[in-house]
Every structure is written in C-alpha cells, then in structure tokens.
Structure 1
Amino acid sequence: MASPAPAAAPAAPVFIDYHLDNTLGAYCVVLTAVLYGVTTVQMYMYFQDWKTDPRAMRLVMALLWILDTFHQIMVTHGLYVYAVTDYGNPQTLLIAVWSVLGITTLSGIIELIVRSIFCFRLWKLVNNNVFLVLPMFLLSLLEFAGGITFTAKGSKIHGEFAHFNSFSWVVYVSLASGVIADILIATLQSYMLWRRRTGIKRTDSIVRLLMLYSVNTGLLTSLCAIACFATFATMNDNFVYIAFYHLLPKLLLNSLLATLNARQHLRNVEDQVSLPMQASRARSARQPFASPTTSSNDKVNPLEAGPDVTLRAATDWQALAIRVETHQDTKFDPEM
C-alpha cells in the first residue's frame, strides 16, 4: 500500500516593496485638522463680535463652517479607510475612495463661495463696475466646474490613480484658474486702495494695512495652489499633491475670516486723544455756577445763610464745563 503523499509546504509570504512616507505619510490630515481648529476659533470670534453684519452674510458664514466641517470629515475618512479599514492591504492605495474623489467637488463649492464674497467686496470698492470683477468670478466658476469634472471622471475609472493622467488637464485648468483669480483679486483690491490715499497720515496707514491683508490673502493660497500644480505634474504617483489640495479651501476660508475679524482692529488704529481736565474752586464772575440744591431763582445771601449753605456753595461745584471741539481733516482725490 502506497504511503500517503506528504502535505504541501505552506507557501512563503509574498512581500511587496512599498513605501508609506509619500502616501499615507503625506495625506496631511494633521495640518487640515489644525486649520479646521483655527477656522472654528475665527468663526466663533466673528459671530461674537459682528452681530451687526447683515443676516445674509452671517448665514453664508455659518454655511461655510458647515461645509468646512464636512470637508474635514471626508479628509479623515479617507485616511481611516487606508490606515485602519484596509490595514495591511497596500493595493488599496492604488484606488481613490469615494471621499477622496468627492472632496474635489466640496472644495470647489467652498472656494467658489469665498471668492464670490471677495468679488462682491471688490465690486463695491470699484463703484459697482461689473466688468472689472466679472473675470475673477468667471475664473472661480471655472475652478468649480473643474472640481465637479474631476469627481465625475474619477468615478468613471473607479478611482484608479494610475488613470488620472488621462484627464490631468482638468487639474491644471482648475488650479490655474484659482491662482489667476486670487492674484487678480489681490492686485485689483490693492490698486483701488492705493488710489484712495488721502494724504492724511492716519488714514493712509489704514489703507496700507488693508493692502497688506489683500496681498497676504492672494499670496498664501496662490503658493499652495502652485505647489499642488507642481507636485501633481511631477509626482502624481503619490499623495503629496493631495495634501496641498486639501489645504487650499481651508487657507482661503481662513484668509476671509482674518479680513473680517480684522475690521475691529482697523477701527482702533487711531491716535489717542487726551483731554486734560482741571477742577477749579473759583467761580467765574461772568458765568456763575448754580448749586444743585438750589435753583437759579432762589437768591441766597451768603451773609444770611447758614454755614452749611456757604460750605456747599464752595465745595459742590468744583468742575468746569468742558467743551470738546473735534476737527476732521478732509482731502479729496481729484481723480476719484
């Protein structure tokens, strides 16, 4: 009788050489969480300090915070799926989960709303000139359309990162539109503020501060978008460009909140005026004071009055009437 065949030896485990430094390590959920915390604090300050803002503006800001909250949830969900749900399966890093694809549309919505607010403020600054503001708004719409297109095309290929190159033009057009829109908004706003210089030192200092806020708003988001553009063009086989893309809407929203909350600081930028006050015990012969305990019609003879009335007349009115005159310097720009 033939002896049974020996059991087959277990197959040796297959090790796949992959690196997590530029994939999960570059997913950037920590930085987005930090910026979300900054957004929440700034949003709280806004609703506490600016209750006089129009109701529509406050509702839009509340909507932006809700959208940013969903944005942070989707960023966290993507990392959780890759690092926890599919732990030990590196093949999942080749597929974009639904939150990674859908976040492009959500980011486009947030950026469109924020840039629309900037365009509205700029529209008021240029005396309701639609043609000056329209290019920035159209570029914002183009970036929003790019986010929707990227989500739709990514869903058709089932989120395979390897095929993202087939519609890379969508990413380039979308990011370039956002960069150009931010630069145009910052440039035009700075130019209009510069033209409104009055020659008065205090007013010009406020204008320069507003220009600084405008430049910082466009510079920070533009640099982040350019970094996302460059990393997608050179390293689209990892998650580095995704990290920059996740930061874009949060940086833009924080820039808007910073400019809104800075209004109180700008209102306080003024020279302190001190009025020296000195009490006087002497009465003026031309402008006699009336005692608070006696009317002007009551004629009191200090010789006939008792010591209490004489003491009260000498001590109750020890302050002079002060007339504060304010002067406002005005200078008009003949070009405006």
Structure 2
Amino acid sequence: MTGGTLQSLLEQSLGALFVGILVAAILLGITNLQTYVYFKSYPNDWLHYKLAVVFLWCLDTLHFVLAAHAVYWYLVMHFDEISLHLPIVWSFKLQLVLNLLTILMVQSLYAFRLWKVSSSQKRRTAAYLVIALVVCNYGMTTATCYFIYQVHAITDVQHYCWMIYSIYGTGILVDFAIVAAFCWTIAQHRNGHPNSDSIINRLIVYVVASGVLTRHVVRCPLHLG
C-alpha cells in the first residue's frame, strides 16, 4: 500500500472511527442523564414504558461498549497491520446490528403511542399505515443483519452499499410517516379555543423538530460512508 493510500485510509476510515467514538461517548452521557431524569420525573409511568426505557438504555450502553472495542481493536491492537484487506472485527458487526435494533425499537414505541392516541377509526387508519411501514422495516433490518455478516473485509463493504442506503432510506421514510401521522392526529384535536389550540400547535412543532433531529442523526452513517 502506498503512503498516499494509507494516509487516505487513516483519515477517512480510522479517523472517522476515532471521532465517532468521542461523539458516542458524549451521546451516551446525555442518554444516561435523560434516563435518570425520566425515572425521577415520571415515577408513576406505565411499567412497559419504564421497561422499554431500561431496555433502550441497555442497548445504547452495549452499543457503545462494542464500538469502543472495535475502535481499540483497529487503532491499538492492529494499528501496524492497517490495510484495505483487514478483517472486520466481530464487535463492529454486532454494534451495527444493535444500532438497527435500537432504531426499530424506537419506531415501534412511536407507532404504539400513535395507536394509543388515535381514538377514532379514521385516525387509527394512519396508525395502521405507520405500523405497516414499521413491519416492513423489520424485514429490511433482518435482511441487512444477514448481509452484515456476509462482509468479512473492508474491501467487501463496497458490494453492499446498496443495502446500507436502502435500510437507512427506509428508516428515514418511516420517520417521515411517523411525524406526519402524529401531526395529523394531533391537529384533529383542535377545537377552536386559543389556549388548547396553542398547546396543540406547540406539540406539533415538538413532533416535527424531534423528527428532523432523528433524520439528521440517521443520515450521519451515510455521510461517514
């Protein structure tokens, strides 16, 4: 491998890994704080929501541990063996799977919440459409997890780029559908009173802002790729 190729590999791949693990550490700290605030602020919340929060926190923590192991494996244990033919370590594959599972879990919770707030049959039609998209995303995720374990070296990744873009594209589509369905469902509760309508408008802004943030986070792996 030439010096220029090696430098490019270090900057674009291993450099991204190093920056990514730093950002992941910060986000894990934010997740820990949010989890603490949730249990402190909502001690009487439904049990299944509490279990879901704990499960997501465990997934997020395990995801960070696996990512840290992968970074250590590449940057410390095998730094002198860096090449395009270096095998992809098991922890890197598993953290990708956990990332996809976390996205699915969050989308499933949003779909369930949407179904809960949809009181009429007309409103539940939107919820059913979102649930159908989430189920489709389950299929895409299953296929992607299979393909992840068909990749054994860095050079193999280019053969599966279409799958990477497909799964994240599907995730973005589901996010759009969730945001649109929530906004439409919430807007149906307007009753003409300024105070209540103002609260509903703020809820819509919050839902849209949350959806936009989610989509930007989901796009990060695409930009790094």
- The counterpart of 1:35, out of the listed 15, 23, 27, is 27
Match of 1:90 in 2: 82
Q: For residues 28-177 of structure 1, what are the structure 2 equivalents within 5 Å?
A: 28-91=20-83, 94-127=86-119, 129=121, 130-158=124-152, 160-177=153-170
Shift of 1:227: 4.9
Distance 2:140 2:210 in 1: 22
CA distance in 2, matches of 1:137, 1:213: 21
Task: Tell me what 2:210 maps to.
Answer: 217
How far apart, CA to CA, are the structure 2 residues paired with 1:156 and 1:223?
Answer: 28
Give me the identity figure in percent.
Answer: 25
Under a length normalisation based on structure 1, what TM-score does the superposition of the two structures give?
Answer: 0.60
Note the C-alpha offset of 1:92.
Answer: 6.9
Secondary structure at 2:80 match in 1: coil
Aligned length: 218
Q: Is this contact kept in 2: 1:101–1:154, CA < 8 A?
A: yes
Structure 2 unmatched runs, 5+: none
Higher fraction of helix: 2
Distance 1:95 1:176, change over 3 A: same
After TM superposition, the structure 1 stretch with the greater mean CA deviation from structure 2, 191-200 or 123-132, is 123-132
Larger Rg: 1
Q: CA deviation at 1:93?
A: 7.2
RMSD: 2.2
Q: 2:133·2:174 contact (CA, 8 Å) conserved in 1? A: yes
1:32 Cα deviation (Å)? 1.0
Unaligned segments of structure 1, at least 5 residues: 1-13, 232-239, 242-336
1:95-123 Cα distance to aligned partner (Å, 9 max, x none) = 32111111222112211111111111111
- Structure 2 counterpart of 1:149, which letter? A
Structure number with greater CO (CA < 8 Å, separation at least 6) is 1
- Quickly say closer, same or farther: Cα 1:171–1:142, change in 2 above 3 A: farther
What letter is aligned with 2:158?
N
Q: What's the secondary structure of 2:83's corresponding residue? A: helix
Q: Tell me by how many angstroms 1:143 deviates.
A: 3.4
